[in-house]
Amino acid sequence: MARQSPQRPDADEPELDDTTASAAADEVDVDRPAADRALWDELRIDPVEIALPAGTGFTLRAYRPARELTPTDVAERDQDDPFLARRQVVETEDDEEVVILDEEFAALSAEEEDEDDEKRADRRGRGKTEAAEVADEDEADEDEADEDEDEADAAGDEEVPAFLTHRGKLLLFKTPESLVSFIRSGAPNDLSQLDSWNELSERVEPADIAPLDEDTYELDLVVENLRGGHDAWDPTLLIEAGEIARDLAYALRLPGVLDMLSAGSSLDDLDEALRASVNGGIGGFMGRRRLKKIGAQTASLGWRTIVGKISAVVDWRD
């Protein structure tokens, strides 16, 4: 799904006059009617097209409050991952260390409690003062707990992406027909938890699988574009790649990709500079200056890793 440069008409081919061109355009419109967006707008699900080095495929994406979604299960996907196995060993060792620390902490707490018993008589005269201090501490703890609860509620209300996934794999379909056939089949997937999924399975048609331009992503072109150097960089291509990569990394539980694109990372700096560069005025000028300071090789290597990690968790369907 690479972008193609416009081709000049062959000199031997007759040029179409305005009437002929208009008739041809009308014929195209008749043959390829625009997809009806009413279904997707009503069900709050969108078809998405993603191009990867292995090919181009269709899938679905929805945004919902985090509290309404159960994350995809990655246990089966990661059971053969050597990095995960190493991580589990470290966690086991850490757990043992934590137990030891807990025992030491318990012993220290017992010693401190004995010392407190000896000093308790001396502190009886200050009982009221201590009670007031404890009350202040309790009030502070309650305020902190309320703040934590508010933050948890806000996190639960935040809309997060969900894709057509199953057991930690992104399902990509090579044709609209195969995607629709899967939706209608009742096969297990992570989007089936949406309250609008059953209605989608009853109403969707292959003609509906027509992603908008903003839902079409060309991850297969990112590395090559970055290798071309600063003057060749395509801001729209790279910005959109960052958006879909973040969404996929969250939905597929790829912490390594999220870290590479997190705030303050070199690739996040690239994203911010690209966004600034497309703006006019002083902001665009400063963005272009920042881009000149970003290494093309570092950026291309980072994105090659990201595209590789995403490609590794794709389940291609015909």
> What are the tokens at 166?
């199953």
Phi, psi for residue 72 in degrees, rounded to 5: -65, 145
Q: Is the pLDDT of residue 16 over 50?
A: no
- Asked whether the beta carbons of 219 and 310 are under 8 A apart, the reply is yes
pLDDT on residue 278: 86
Please provide the average confidence, as pLDDT, over all residues in the chain: 79
pLDDT 10s digits, 221-278: 999 999 999 999 999 999 999 999 999 999 999 999 999 999 999 999 999 999 999 8
> What are the tokens at 137?
């501490």
Rank 24-28, 93-97, 257-261, 282-286 by mean pLDDT and report only the highest.
257-261
Q: Is the pLDDT of residue 91 over 60?
A: no
Segments making up each domain of the chain, as ranges: 82-159
pLDDT on residue 101: 37
- Asked whether the beta carbons of 263 and 246 are under 8 A apart, the reply is no
Q: Which of 62-71, 125-134, 259-268, 305-314 has the lowest mean pLDDT?
A: 125-134
- Asked whether the beta carbons of 303 and 237 are under 8 A apart, the reply is no
Question: Shortest CA distance to 306 belongs to which of 268, 266, 258, 270?
Answer: 258
Instruction: Report d(CA 215, CA 142) in Å as an integer.
Output: 45
Around Cβ 222, how many Cβ atoms within 10 Å?
Answer: 24
Instruction: Report d(CA 150, CA 143) in Å as an integer.
Output: 11
Instruction: Report d(CA 145, CA 97) in Å as an integer.
Output: 29
Instruction: Report d(CA 285, CA 240) in Å as an integer.
Output: 21
> What are the tokens at 168?
């930690």
Q: Give CA separation, 255 vs 47, 220, 231, 248, 310, in Å.
A: 25, 21, 31, 11, 11
pLDDT on residue 109: 42
Task: Identify which has the larger pLDDT, 298 or 13.
Answer: 298
Instruction: Report d(CA 292, CA 301) in Å as an integer.
Output: 17
pLDDT on residue 58: 98
Q: Which of 3-17, 79-93, 146-160, 267-281 has the lowest mean pLDDT?
A: 3-17
pLDDT 10s digits, 167-177: 999 999 999 99
pLDDT 10s digits, 131-169: 556 556 666 666 665 565 555 556 568 999 999 999 999
pLDDT on residue 168: 96
Average pLDDT over residues 191-199: 97
Q: Give CA separation, 34 vs 1, 60, 206, 207, 251, in Å.
A: 20, 19, 13, 9, 29
The pTM for the full model equals: 0.69
Instruction: Report d(CA 317, CA 224) in Å as an integer.
Output: 26
